[in-house]
């Protein structure tokens, strides 16, 4: 597994939201429709009270594979993305980067990119635009402590039992590839 810059992961884009400010505060606009190839289906929030919380690394396979646009609307996160698309020039690579409410950045993730994060601030909230509904049968978790050897920045962390039982990156990539043949 190779760690690389986010710009090296094929199809992933970092976006700046449109912002305007005056004496009342700021107004931020997010426009998912200019990026998503499918119709926007769902909006979700991930609310994380504790510093160090790890969520992921998650992926949905077909027929519920999804494109995502993720932004941090409160706090900050250490983000991890993994390319599991068999036909991608960046297959098997992963990238880490920070999202925060201060930079108003968003990240666009095409289908086949697994996503996870660790909170760097208390009361961190992530906002998601998604093209597919959640499907437990199509959901995979890549082991956040396994073969990727991710250097999570906060050692005192909280994580769900489900996320600690993630599969290898190789297994997740095989499952994703198999789902494309259906």
**Exposure pattern of 93-127 as b/e (b: 16+ CB <10 Å)?**
bbbbbebbbeebbbbbbbbbbbbbbbbbbeebbbb
Place of tokens 């601030």: 121
The C-alpha R_g of the chain, in whole angstroms, comes to: 16
| Catalytic positions, written as ranges | 58, 128
Rounded Cα–Cα distance for residues 126 and 118 (Å): 11
As to burial, measured by CB atoms within 10 angstroms (0-12 exposed, 13-18 middle, 19+ buried), residue 39 is exposed
């Amino acid at each position: 597994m190779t760690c690389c810059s986010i710009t090296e992961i094929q199809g992933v884009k970092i976006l700046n939201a449109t912002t305007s400010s005056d004496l009342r505060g700021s107004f931020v606009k997010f426009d998912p429709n200019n990026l998503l190839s499918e119709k926007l289906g769902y909006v979700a929030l991930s609310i994380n009270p504790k510093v160090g919380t790890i969520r992921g690394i998650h992926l949905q396979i077909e027929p519920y594979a999804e494109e995502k646009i993720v932004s941090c609307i409160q706090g900050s996160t250490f983000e991890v993305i993994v390319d599991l698309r068999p036909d991608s020039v960046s297959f098997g690579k992963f990238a880490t980067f920070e999202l925060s409410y201060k930079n108003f950045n968003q990240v666009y993730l095409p289908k086949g990119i697994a996503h996870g994060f660790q909170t760097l601030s208390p009361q961190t909230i992530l906002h998601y635009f998604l093209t597919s509904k959640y499907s437990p049968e199509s959901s995979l978790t890549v082991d956040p402590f396994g073969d990727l050897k991710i250097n999570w920045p906060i050692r005192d962390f909280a994580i769900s039992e489900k996320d600690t039982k993630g599969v290898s990156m190789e297994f997740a990539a095989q499952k994703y590839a198999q789902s494309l043949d259906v």
